[in-house]
Structure 1
Amino acid sequence: MKRQLFKTGNCTVLSLPKEMLDSLGVKNDDNLMVELDKPNNRLVISAVEKTMAGNVDEEFAKQVNDYIEKYRPALEDLAK
């Protein structure tokens, strides 16, 4: 797909169509990884893997969520 660069302020911008962003699973204000593949004269753009704060183990986070769902009424009573 051919795209044209344009200048805004001190930056040069490459706009990407919504369909392309959707296929990457990203939206405005998400971070992207941009890498230069110099031997092939290419820019490689990929979605940044979304991680939990502090690199929390996903299995542990699932267990915490399960616990909260199971004991939500009691936890809400304790929070009063």
Structure 2
Amino acid sequence: MVRKIFRLGNSLVVSLPKDILDMLGLDEGAEVSVEIEWEQRRIIITPAGLALPGVNEEFAR
């Protein structure tokens, strides 16, 4: 999926389609975790609170 970055006030924003947000159970105001994979130049956005495969939940706290 290709999305554009646009300016909203003093911020730059990437919007997500409603059908994707619905599939993830996200709505305006929901918290997400943003991770950067520098070597692959990748941004990963995950709903906050979801367990990540291979990550010990106690360690993540």
User: Shorter chain as normaliser: what TM range?
Assistant: 0.7 to 0.9
Structure ranking higher in strand proportion: 2
RMSD: 1.3
CA distance in 2, matches of 1:30, 1:7: 20
Residues paired across the two proteins, number: 50
Aligned to 1:20: 20
- Same amino acid, percent of matched pairs: 36
Structure 2: how far apart are the matches of 1:9 and 1:28?
17
Residue 4 of structure 1 corresponds to 4
Q: Which position in structure 2 is the counterpart of 1:74?
A: none
Q: Distance in 2 between matches of 1:39 and 1:23?
A: 29
Larger relative contact order, structure 1 or 2 (CA cutoff 8 Å, min sep 6): 2
Q: Distance in 2 between matches of 1:3 and 1:18?
A: 13
Q: Which has the larger radius of gyration?
A: 1
For structure 1, the 5+ residue unaligned runs are 51-80
Larger fraction in helix: 1
- The gaps in structure 2 that reach 5 residues or longer are 51-61
Amino acid at match of 2:44: V
Q: 1: distance between equivalents of 2:46 and 2:5?
A: 19
